[in-house]
Structure 1
Amino acid sequence: MGSRQIILFQPRDPEDAGAGMAEIGSPRSVERTLRPFNIAPDGAKGAIGTLSFYGPGLVIEVPIAADEINQLMASVDDEETAWPVLARICRELGWKMMDPESGRTFM
């Protein structure tokens, strides 16, 4: 079974996820934000134009070409391990998750 893709973002209006995405920050500030959740780069080079941050059951791709980032792509390899981490990120940071296939937003 392949990995599941999830988009992480911070909504402009926490009560209305359809209101658009707010800026999350620069690639380095995103790295600092995710470290308390045991998510960090491992020093390896990611795909061209991205940094790969590794965490429990997931990999998050962060674009490095943009000064400000408004969404992150998480590849979930182990849902049982990754889901509590993603839920905690959303709860503590006020972020949301979106299934890119269905467009459904949750958390």
Structure 2
Amino acid sequence: MPKKRQLVITRSSRATGGSPGELASMGPMANVLSSLALYNTAPDGSRRNTGMEVLWGPGMVLEIPAGVDEVSQVLATITDDDIALPVLMRACKALGWAMTDVETGRSFG
């Protein structure tokens, strides 16, 4: 089984005009969830007491801290690169988000 890849999704510093490394708001939780729903990514409806909102998408699982008003980052665990990466790249381009590979530190977007 291939190793799972993890990416951190944040608001692109180019989209906000801020300095690199500065975490800007991606928007309110409801807006982030509705934006991700356009890319077939949503919670499965179950209730967990993990402190995280877990979303399932094509070839990926996304985790967002629960109970926050403004989302500043999302952790994506990629289970299938061939399916998930094109979806994430389209979403990030359309929404002004950027992805950073946790292991290598490389950023996209």
Is structure 2 residue 36 aligned with structure 1 residue 24?
A: no
- Compute the TM-score of the two structures, normalised by the length of structure 1: 0.87
Q: How does 1:15-54 map to 2 (within 5 A)?
A: 18-46=20-48, 48-54=50-56
Superposition CA RMSD, Å: 1.9
- Compute the TM-score of the two structures, normalised by the length of structure 2: 0.86
**Unmatched 5+ residue regions in structure 1?**
none
Give the percent of matched residue pairs that are identical in Structure 1 and Structure 2: 36
Q: Cα gap change, 1:105/1:46 in structure 2, threshold over 3 Å: closer, same or farther? A: farther
Q: How does 1:66-105 map to 2 (within 5 A)?
A: 66-105=68-107
Distance 2:54 2:93 in 1: 23
Distance 1:12 1:21 in 2: 8
**Unmatched 5+ residue regions in structure 2?**
none
Counting matched residue pairs gives 107
Q: Cα gap change, 1:17/1:80 in structure 2, threshold over 3 Å: closer, same or farther? A: farther
* TM-superposed deviation, 1:91: 1.2
Q: Cα gap change, 1:72/1:17 in structure 2, threshold over 3 Å: closer, same or farther? A: farther
Distance 1:7 1:74 in 2: 6
